[in-house]
Amino acid sequence: MQAPPSFRDLTLGQFAERLASPEPVPGGGSASAVAAALGASLVAMVAELTQGRTKYADHAELCSVAVPAARALSDELLRLADEDAAAYAACAIALKLPRESFTDQELRDRQIRETAQVAAEIPLQCVERCVDALGIAESLAGRSNKNASSDLRVASLLLEAAADGATANVLVNLPLIGTNEWTDATGARVQQLLQDARTVAQAVRAVVESGEARAPLEAAPTWPAT
């Protein structure tokens, strides 16, 4: 079982074909990261379509930082799609080690725990990046080109769905690690991140649906570096 060198190098049709195949990778984790990358790209597009428009001159500084931030998030999410596939593949190999005939049972169990932890950490990062991208989208809502408001809504839907899917991939791996301080903290963190994603996504859609024009931000936000 081997993941392709990089999903970003495939055509959309090729990626969809791989996703539809019986191979375990790519799976839901990679699909969630790719969906999130598309959402972040839409956020960047909305900011791009707002830049240079006289009508939105008051939001020029916001857009000037939103574009590179959203593009960087999209790029990172595509990288996470690859990493998710590799992590799941490694975990699947560990799980297939024969329980009865494997000479070092502790080594087998340790490999499962270690690969499962990586398989949980990657989608956790995906959820974090979804929240980051939704934060940019929320800043742009009501402060960007109205003709692209539906694109911002689509971005919020993609990012919320991706956060939900990635959260499921975090939670499914935690039992393989066992109950400890890390799994307890990770489970609580990812649930909170998902709630944050849902709250911000709904806020984006509420502003878009209202058609409300919002006042300029006092200062352009500084989003987390990816």
Domain ranges of the chain: 25-210
Averaging pLDDT over each range in 4-13, 87-96, 188-197, which range is the top one? 188-197
Per-residue pLDDT at 163: 98
Per-residue pLDDT at 111: 82
Rounded mean pLDDT, 99-110:
68
Rounded mean pLDDT, 11-19:
94
pTM for the full model? 0.93
Per-residue pLDDT at 222: 81
Please tell me the CATH code under which domain 25-210 is placed. 1.20.120.680
Rounded mean pLDDT, 3-10:
79
pLDDT band for position 1 (cuts 50, 70, 90): very low
Per-residue pLDDT at 226: 53
User: Is pLDDT above 80 for 114?
Assistant: yes
Each residue of 160-174: pLDDT tens digit? Answer: 999 999 999 999 999
User: Is pLDDT above 90 for 113?
Assistant: no
User: Is pLDDT above 90 for 219?
Assistant: no
pLDDT band for position 99 (cuts 50, 70, 90): low
Per-residue pLDDT at 93: 77
Each residue of 36-79: pLDDT tens digit? Answer: 999 999 999 999 999 999 999 999 999 999 999 999 999 999 99
Written as six digits, the tokens of 125 are 């990062």
